[in-house]
Amino acid sequence: MKIKILFESFIRSRRLKKYSKHLSQSFGYTGSLAEHLFGENNRNNSLNEIIKLSFYTVNQPVIEKYSITEIALKEKYEQLILYGAGQYFRGHWIAASALVFRSTLEYLFDKRNEMSGRDEGQEIAYRLIEYFDNGEMGEITTSQWRRTKRLEELLVEYTDIEQHKDLATEARHSTIDLIQMKIDEPTVALQLTSVSQDGYTTDLETGARVKF
């Protein structure tokens, strides 16, 4: 099995590089109608080849976990292109490589990372660009943007303050320092239950009064 996976990894890398190049060359292409149709056909064929790479042995646990289909992969690719991942970084055409590597594939299909709108889509695209550009490996950690957004949601959920939008805006700056973006959500929720009408919160671990 290990030999098979190593062989597949070698083949996958070569094919990923080849078909990513085809996809990048067809991206945003303008020309005659005949050239456009040829480029579109080449693009579709290359994307199909990329999708085949997604189903290699090493990705099977993720494929089965999320019941991933070819159609779903094509949709993810189009979303990534739409939101800015149609770029090359460190030899990776991001929108394609994200479908092929196990960690990024799982990241894309995790329900917490749905690209349900422009803000979410751009954030996911940026995190993937960051991942490949920094040469990261393994599981992708949640970006600071998404953690801050979740804190804002918790602030609204766990307070009765009518001006919660202003509080949430302030939280974008202050809660990063207070909680350092690394505490799990239940702990965050516990801390946020103490937010009072005067705009202060009591850190339930230290007892300190902190103004948001």
State pLDDT tens for residues 59-89: 999 999 999 999 999 999 999 999 999 999 9
- DSSP 3-state assignment of 91? coil
Domain boundaries, given as residue ranges, for the chain: 2-133, 144-211
Residue 191 in contact with residue 179, Cβ under 8 Å?
A: yes
Q: Which pTM value belongs to this model?
A: 0.64
List all residues 6 or more positions away from 136 whose beta carbon is below 8 Å from its beta carbon: 130
Q: Which residue has the higher pLDDT, 121 or 164?
A: 121
Over residues 92-109, mean pLDDT: 96
Give pLDDT, residue 140. Answer: 87
Pairing of strands 88-89, 92-93: antiparallel
CA distance 13 to 191: 46
pLDDT for 178 beyond 80:
no
**CA angle, residues 17, 109, 94, in degrees to nearest 5:** 25
Which sign, positive or negative, has the C-alpha torsion 36, 116, 20, 55? negative
State pLDDT tens for residues 183-203: 444 444 444 434 444 444 444
State pLDDT tens for residues 26-41: 765 545 544 445 556 7
Q: Which of 147, 56, 63, 44 is nearest to 105 (CA)?
A: 63
State pLDDT tens for residues 103-149: 999 999 999 899 999 989 999 999 999 999 999 988 887 665 566 66
Listed in sequence order, the DSSP H helices in 27-161 are 33-54, 60-65, 70-82, 94-100, 102-109, 118-133, 144-157
CA distance 122 to 124: 5
